Amino acid sequence: MDVCTRCRHALQLYAVLQLLTWSAVPAAHIYQLYEGESELKHMTVDKTTGNIYLGGVNRIYQLDEDLSVIYKVQTGPHNDSVYCPMVGSCINGAERLPTDDHNKILVINYAAGELVVCGSIYQGRCERHHLSDITKRVLPPNEQTTVQPVAANNATATTVAFIAPGVPDPGMINVLYVATSLTPGLYRHRVPSLASRSLQAGKMFDLASKGISKSSSVVILDEYRDVFHVEYKAGFHFEGFSYFVQVQPRSLEREHLEQGHITKISRICDHDENYDSYTEIELQCIGKDGTVYSLAQAAILAETGRHLAESFGNKKDVLATLFVNSRLVNGREQVDSALCLFAMKDVQRMFRENIQMCYNGTVSERGLGYINRFDKGCPSGSNKLIDDTFCGDVARPLLEGQAPLRTTPVLTFSDINATSIAITTTGPFTVAFTGTDEGYLKKIFIKSATNAFEFEKVPVDPGFAILPDMHFDKQHAYLYVMSTSKVSKVKVQECDLYETCEDCSIGARDPYCGWCTLESRCSTRGRCSNANSTDRWISAEAKMCVQFSQIIPSNIPVGNANKVELRVNRLPLPSPGYGYSCVFGTAAPVPAKTLRNIPGLLCDTPPMEELSMFAGDGDHFSVPLYVRSMETGVDFVSHMFTFYNCSVHEACMPCMQSRWSCSWCMYSNRCTNDPNQCAADNPGELLVSRASQCARFIQPEGQHYETLLPSGQPQAISMLSTNLPQPRLGDTGYQCLVHVDGEAEPQVTSARILRQPDSENQTILCSETAYTYRENVQEISATLTVVWNDRHRVDSTMVTLYKCSELGRDCSRCLTRANKYQCSWCGGACSFSSACRDKPRNFCPEPRISDFSPKTGPIEGGTLVTVWGSNLLIHPSDIINGTSIAGMHCTVQEQDYDISTRVVCQTGYSGKERTGPITVVRRNSRRPLETTSVEQFKYLDPQIVQIVPLIGPRSGGTRLNVTGRNLNVGGVIKAYLDDLACEVERTSATSTSVVCITSAAPSTEQGVYITSRFVMTFDLAERALVREFTYTQDPNITHISPLRSFYSGGRMLTVHGTFLTSIQQPRIFSTFQQKKSAEMVCSVLNMTVMLCPSPPMPTSSRFRRETITTDTTAEIGFIMDDVLSVNNLSWFFPNVDASIVYVPNPLYKPFHEDANTKLYRGDSLIIEGENLNLASDTHDVRVTVGRQLCNVTSLAETQLVCIPSATQPAGVDENGHETTKLLPMVIVHVGSLQFDIGYLQYEVIEPYKLPEYAIGAIAAGGGFLVLVTLVVLLVYRRKSSQAEREYKRIQIQMDTLESNVRSECKQAFAELQTDMTDITKDLVATGIPFLDHKSYVMKVFFPGVVDHPILRRPVMRDSKRSNFDSAMIQFEQLLNNRTFLLVLINTLENQRTFSIRDKVNVASLLMIAFINKMDYATE
């Protein structure tokens, strides 16, 4: 069968379906996919497939488990009004206008495989969609959609719905329970507050039961509808009853509305056809401190874990409800939240007790005055026993319980508005997830009915409230959380993030997580093998992890084989056939034996050669000791184990002070861990077992000696010591070794021992020796070590060597050195006192001034002048009254001086400009000594003339150029704009100009901050200039183009923004892989536009830009004074595309002609190259020939075309320098690149002189041409006259014909009027002929055809959809696609067998198919 035939058959089938459903299907049945965002309202999850369904504003979505969109359906907007009925005309002038459809109900009817969707338009209508494909609506025969208002009809009113068993047969069928808040409107009286609605065909969404006076609904009386507003928060079914949690006013009376709202729970029996069993009781959540959390926010029926159920008395089902309390704190409304749990058995009991109280006479009235207008009394004297199966009393329907159900919160949240809740279990634990109005998800471990804590807080959509609908996936491994703008798939546990048992089981307190002991990882119980075995999986309730409790011994000496006993807390029982091994560092595993009476293991230490010795304190090394499971091969517990080595200590004190069990063998001079080894190796050995027994230096109590040794002066050293050994026969005596830091060999001298009378102490006396050091420094440290028998060390101490010549480089410093140095001034130098040949002097020569700074100061004074020299002073009192600057007194700063070399003094007020030297007079015991500086100090009067610019950004950073006179005087110069600091750049300051950098200005509502004065201070002087400086808003960047550049940069970019003129020198840069490019200076054109050369590509030093051949993307940034936002455009301006693409550099090739010279013949100049237009346009390239421009007309990838001047330019380059060939040089500039192309030589053409015979021939030819032209003109004139006469004749004939036609039309119209009058008279008796729709269509589209396929009625099949139905729906969607329709028609017309009759037939079928879309016929 060819394509043509198959398409014709499909069209016939589709036309039949369209014709039969002409009057039943509205145009809205044709859905369109809309790719856009929608505010979300509700969410539900298919527990069979895991698909997610979302209801939002004007859309519903079907997502898969990974939140990928499968289908979208647009549900609005539609023309509607809350003041218009669902169908029919509006009244009172109301008008249907485009109205958004807010989703109100989104529930899954698993029995029918349908999704029930109700929106706010058309008074809260409902629709049904196929669960597998929501784009397909469920429309049984003769049913378009519900005509019953079901849900709330505006955006804010609440609606709660769920599907549960209900009348007429709760055991077999389910109904839709709907609770909706009342909304104003003429047509809302038909909507009950609470109802059960049918889901059966023919009664879809109608009340499940309707009688003469009662129905399966609760209706608030008309007189309370405006004041008694009930908000429904949740609904669920439990053990034969359907429950609703609702918030409502405490009182019915208008004057008592200020009493606030309360939370109630109501229920209806499954078998109750008339809602006679409707009962309410109050839920109260009261904190331990008495705080009443009165308003429910969200509620859910949940099944608890074993531990929580046991705390409720083995009551497994609970109603978890979030309550809030609003209060004023410091003038701000603070919302606190609480999580309260009600056991459903307690809820049932409280309903039962309240009903019983009515029947046994405890209470007299049933209440519910807002529902029940008439008989409100309880039965009197009834002894009826109420149980959990009680399903209402027809004689006494409806009941308001008087006794509330109270509980205390299991957890409270201060200053947090909790908005949603979901509960699940993991093992015996119960976990709650609560969303907040700030977009966070809190994970809560509910340990008991009175104890819970938050263990994690997850940011889901910060700034946007979490909506009440939260659902788990099929495996309860993820939680779907919804805000108004997005749905997030949140993992319920993140156990893999915890790396240690302490973090996992103890620190995290996550009930999902436990430490899988033998696998040494944090995991859920299900992912840990043999988790039910003892201590194989340590849960969040554990107080201790598996760990060593004791290691015996905790350390052993190197080289000794030993057994180590490991006592392990919570050591798991290994699986049969498996055990444990011990692993010391890198050594091979050693099988472990299990201890009998205590949990632990016994291991042998490995050979030392198998261990990698880790660096320790020098006398030991530690290795990790692991216990490895032979079952899993994992090291699951570890501890550092130490091997120590006493032999590394070479002196007694370090040996005795070590942490280990070491002993010192005095005469063997070694440290050992085995005391017995000393005597065995050296009979008569002196064994030291305590530090106090070691030979060492000592100092008398309360005294401290510092050993000072003058360099080059013989000195003896004595050290008080104790426990000095007596050298034996053959041993050498004592020696002193002085080792100067930085020198290779110590200075050695002999020593002798002096016994102290009446004391066990001795004195070591080192022989008198001159100790020296080479460095020219004042002091240097050295180590004094006393040894005996060559290598046996007694002790060491630090001594100090010094040089008087360095301590006192001049007289004043020499005389002021501490007495301990014994330095004196003699012979014109500082020397050790005993080495002076001349008598030391106690006074110094005349002072001398070498320099001072600053050299100028303001006439008001206050300048701190630092004077340098020698012998200036020993103490400030020496010169305090003898220092002057330019003849004016100067105040010496007593706390800021250096002996001899430096003094600081402050200038005083001079009254006028003056110049003079600095004079210092030093007074001592003999006579005053005076010195005068060579340079002159100047008192100057600074003046400010002008500042520019007068505008800058609010963030500061503007460089103000200040001009004037004497602007760099003084020591401290500061500048201000009013009271805003402007930092002065002293390094660039001159006498006539200073630059200062503005600081940030405070923000204002107008965005502009104006200062009125510019002030500068020079020490104590102040100068002001009255000038306004304007702080504008910080500049912003809005657009950058083009965003392509070659690697070397320099392409001109156009940058658009705001307040750009406030920046004096903006710069542009780019960053790539955290590397920053060079900065390029931009040129500001106006407030909104500037031009910037593209910066070069930032590259690593390993690469050159010229070698890069691939495109690279970098980020553009700007430097605009101190405006930080433009540094990182992608962060501060995410809507601005600031990514620039770098492409390889263009390459312009030199002329390939000989000698690099091109011959120009007067046409365009072509320059060849590579990558020429990857990031360049014609205006980006500049070509010069000599000093003249070559006009670029074309730029391709490999060629540039330009037109040079008509005459050959001078033989110079672009700078006017004469070239070697005396020809103009061709140079190409593109960005920062320059290419020397070569030389251009114009081809000179000599003028051609025309011969005389040629001139005569041209003249003769011209005369002949003129003669021929005259002849042609005469002929043309004659023909034109003939044509004009013929035109006039034809015009006369046309006028005659027009007159005849006019007369005939008048006569024909008169006859037609006569015929219509005759027909009208005939129709009075017979009537106007009228055909039914089907006959009319057949006569118009198929004239003369009696038996056509579209006249045959379709064969009825069962309600189950067949492949035929699916095919027709898909073919319908294809026909509604204009592209497919045009391709189909073109394909048919291209068929050779497609005749004219076929074309007519197909066109007729198409018109029937599109009879609802006649606009197709116009395209």
Residues ≥6 apart with Cβ < 8 Å to 1074: none
Query: Residue 41 has what pLDDT?
Result: 92
Upper half-sphere CA count for residue 120 (Cβ side, 13 Å): 28
Q: What are the Cα distances from residue 1078, in Å, to 94, 127, 1050, 1127, 1138? A: 68, 64, 11, 14, 17
Place of tokens 């009192």: 877
DSSP 1373-1418: HHHT-HHHHHHHHHHHHT-TT--HHHHHHHHHHHHHHTTT-GGGGG
Place of tokens 């409107």: 185
> Rounded to 5 degrees, what are φ and ψ at 1281?
-65, -40
For residues 352 and 240, the answer to whether their CB atoms sit within 8 Å is: no
Query: Residue 31 has what pLDDT?
Result: 24
590 exposed, middle or buried (CB, 10 Å; 0-12, 13-18, 19+)?
Answer: middle
Q: Which segments of 1196-1334 are extended strands (E)?
A: 1199-1203, 1225-1230, 1233-1242
333 exposed, middle or buried (CB, 10 Å; 0-12, 13-18, 19+)?
Answer: exposed
Distance CA 1201, CA 1206 (A): 15
> Rounded to 5 degrees, what are φ and ψ at 26?
-75, 170
Distance CA 1273, CA 1260 (A): 21
Upper half-sphere CA count for residue 236 (Cβ side, 13 Å): 18
Distance CA 40, CA 35 (A): 15
Pure H helices in 118-270: none
Beta-bridge partner residues of 761: none
Q: Starting from the edge strand earliest in sequence, which strands make up the sheet with 40-45, in order?
A: 40-45, 52-56, 59-63, 69-74
Coil vs helix vs strand at 205: coil
> Rounded to 5 degrees, what are φ and ψ at 239?
50, 60
Q: At what angle do helices 1378-1389 and 1363-1375 cross, to 10 degrees?
A: 90
Task: Look up residue 1018 and give its two tokens.
Answer: 């020079």
State whether the Cα torsion 1002-1008-1010-1014 is positive or negative: positive
For residues 58 and 41, the answer to whether their CB atoms sit within 8 Å is: no
Distance CA 1407, CA 1350 (A): 13
Distance CA 204, CA 567 (A): 72
For residues 164 and 181, the answer to whether their CB atoms sit within 8 Å is: no
Indicate the DSSP class of residue 138. -
Element (H, E) at 698: none
Place of tokens 């590579």: 1170
Task: Look up residue 901 and give its two tokens.
Answer: 């070399």
Pure H helices in 945-1001: none
Distance CA 546, CA 532 (A): 16
The phi-psi region of residue 330 (left if phi > 0; otherwise alpha if psi is between -120 and 50; otherwise beta) is left
**Which residues of the chain are modeled with pLDDT < 50?**
1-36, 143-145, 614-615, 1101-1107, 1359
Distance CA 1232, CA 1182 (A): 11
Q: What are the Cα distances from residue 398, in Å, to 170, 226, 237? A: 20, 22, 19
Nearest to 41, CA basis, from 63, 69, 64, 60: 60
Distance CA 425, CA 447 (A): 11
Residues ≥6 apart with Cβ < 8 Å to 264: 245, 246, 247, 248, 280, 281, 282, 283
Amino acid at 258: E
Pairing relation of β-strands 580-584 and 590-591?
antiparallel
For the CA atoms of 514, 519, 521, 522, the dihedral, rounded to the nearest 10 degrees, stands at -20
Distance CA 99, CA 85 (A): 14
For residues 732 and 789, the answer to whether their CB atoms sit within 8 Å is: yes
Distance CA 940, CA 636 (A): 81
Nearest to 1399, CA basis, from 1341, 1333, 1345, 1360: 1341
For residues 623 and 640, the answer to whether their CB atoms sit within 8 Å is: yes
For residues 860 and 1021, the answer to whether their CB atoms sit within 8 Å is: yes
Nearest to 193, CA basis, from 236, 154, 149: 149
Element (H, E) at 596: none
For residues 238 and 301, the answer to whether their CB atoms sit within 8 Å is: yes
State whether the Cα torsion 790-791-792-797 is positive or negative: positive
For residues 344 and 324, the answer to whether their CB atoms sit within 8 Å is: no
For residues 1070 and 1115, the answer to whether their CB atoms sit within 8 Å is: yes
Distance CA 1024, CA 1015 (A): 4
Indicate the DSSP class of residue 62. E
Q: What is the pLDDT of residues 366-408, one digit of tens each?
A: 888 888 867 778 877 677 788 888 887 776 778 888 899 999 9
Which value, in Å, is the radius of gyration of the alpha carbons in the chain? 52
Query: Residue 1029 has what pLDDT?
Result: 95
For residues 1215 and 1224, the answer to whether their CB atoms sit within 8 Å is: no
Q: Map 1234-1246 to HEC letters.
A: EEEEEEEEECCCC
Beta-bridge partner residues of 906: 864, 891
Task: Look up residue 1196 and give its two tokens.
Answer: 């391709």
Distance CA 491, CA 473 (A): 10
Q: Which segments of 789-934 are extended strands (E)?
A: 792-802, 823-826, 829-832, 848-853, 856-858, 864-870, 883-885, 888-898, 902-907, 914-916, 918-922, 929-932
